Amino acid sequence: MRVKLFVEGGGDSELQRRQFTESFSKLLQKAGLTGQMPRVVAGGRREQTYALFKAAVGDASAVAVLLVDSEDPVSAAPWDHLRERDRWERPPGATDDQAQLMVTSMETWLMADRAALTRVFGDCLQQSALFAVAGLEARTRQEVQDRLAHATRDCVRDRAYAKGRRSFQVLAEVDPDRLQSLPHFQRLIDALRRLLAPPDASHRGRG
């Protein structure tokens, strides 16, 4: 089954969107989603990403999957979280697997891989300023972003952490094995594997 993954973010320029989708696709490949990969769509702003997803839910040629920042720590199922926080309703026919969250943001994934951060920022990265990986999904989006900025404050101006090109560079370096302690990242990978799985061969040719 073809899958379109509508991801919040991607920047404002065509170059940034291409960097974003390439980095995201690289991470999914490293997570073992080989063969027929999801098509990653940079959705832009949060509301725009949801609107693109809703418009694609009825497309019979592919399964649409929504992936957005949770913004806040999550204590409910994804669709419930999105309804309570954003007033977004589950589109008719959409399944649990079609709502996925980066808890609490993509920066949480980046902070979980110290080696990836070191490869991008080098010796100017202050690892002691980063949150411990354990319990990282309980940190708010703003807390994580502030700590990343603080941990790279000694880097020269064009090397310090910033959303956009720098964040996409780190994302391309992330090892999915380093994200095993993040339950919602694992939920995303498990859901994509189910959606991309070929039909059971034992049912072919029946009828």
Amino acid 198 reads: P
- Angle between helix 114-121 and 165-173 (nearest 10): 130
Residue among 56, 98, 50, 99 nearest 78 (CA): 99
Which one-letter DSSP state was computed for residue 68?
E
* pLDDT of the chain, 207 residues: tens digit per residue: 799 999 999 988 899 999 999 999 999 999 999 777 999 999 999 999 999 999 999 899 999 999 999 999 999 999 999 999 999 999 999 999 999 999 999 999 999 999 999 999 999 999 999 999 999 999 999 999 999 999 999 997 678 888 887 899 999 999 999 999 999 999 999 999 999 987 664 444 444
pTM as predicted = 0.93
Question: How would you classify the pairing of strands 99-102 and 39-44?
Answer: unpaired
DSSP state of 63: E
Contact indicator for 94, 71 with CB cutoff of 8 Å: no
Neighbours of 143 (CB within 10 A): 16
Closest CA to 152 of 142, 143, 161, 144: 161
